[in-house]
């Protein structure tokens, strides 16, 4: 069923609500994370000190991080390079290529990796299609780029049907 491929394994307020100790207990060795509206607002060029600290805490816990973004190389490079974080830009999520490239580059398996993002139709669908554990976060900003605005409308419909079928109980924005 298509809605099941859109159903995240976890739903949290923000990346800062992800329990890093729980990830370690589950033997998670890697995080694939979206950038725009997951880590920072889509129009913020650099990481906030809080995001820098979150990434540092993951790394100190022995968990690798790769940013996988549909945005262009220049945008993703300017964000990730100062942090020393591996990235894949122009990822074409929910396609498989970037997710598989990320696990190959980190030398981990899909069961050892979680996918974190703010969108059902890119991050969650892309991760679930390959069998990743997915964590959906509330978007950092209330505004989006053109294509993301379209996706958000589709998400609202998907959340409506998921709620109607009793698949979710949490409150979503919109």
pLDDT (tens place) for every residue of the chain, 174 residues total = 577 888 999 999 999 999 999 999 999 999 999 999 999 998 899 999 999 999 999 999 999 999 999 999 999 999 999 999 999 999 999 999 999 999 999 999 999 999 999 999 999 999 999 999 999 999 887 766 666 676 777 777 777 777 777 777 666 554
Spatial separation of the C-alpha atoms in residues 92 and 137, rounded to whole Å: 20
End-to-end CA distance of the chain: 24
Classify domain 2-141 by CATH number: 3.40.50.1000
What pTM value is reported for the model? Answer: 0.87
Who's near 136: CB < 8 A, 6+ residues apart?
A: 8, 10, 11, 12, 117, 118, 120, 123, 124
Spatial separation of the C-alpha atoms in residues 69 and 90, rounded to whole Å: 6
Cα–Cα distances (Å) from 139 to 60, 61, 143, 151, in that order, read 26, 25, 9, 12
Who's near 171: CB < 8 A, 6+ residues apart?
A: none
């Amino acid at each position: 069923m298509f809605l099941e491929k859109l159903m995240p394994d976890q739903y949290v307020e923000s990346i800062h609500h992800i329990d890093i100790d729980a990830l370690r207990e589950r033997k998670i060795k890697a995080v694939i994370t979206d950038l725009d509206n997951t880590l920072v607002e889509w129009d913020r060029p650099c990481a906030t000190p809080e995001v820098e600290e979150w990434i540092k805490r993951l790394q100190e816990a022995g968990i690798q991080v790769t940013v996988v973004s549909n945005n262009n190389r220049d945008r993703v490079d300017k964000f990730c390079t100062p942090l020393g974080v591996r990235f894949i830009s122009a990822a074409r999520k929910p396609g498989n290529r970037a997710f598989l490239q990320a696990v190959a580059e980190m030398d981990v398996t899909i069961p050892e990796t979680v996918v974190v993002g703010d969108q059902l139709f890119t991050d969650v669908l892309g991760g679930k299609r390959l069998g990743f554990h997915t964590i959906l976060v509330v978007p950092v900003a209330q505004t989006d780029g053109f294509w993301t605005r379209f996706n958000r409308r589709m998400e609202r419909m998907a959340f409506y049907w998921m709620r109607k079928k009793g698949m979710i109980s949490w409150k979503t924005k919109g």
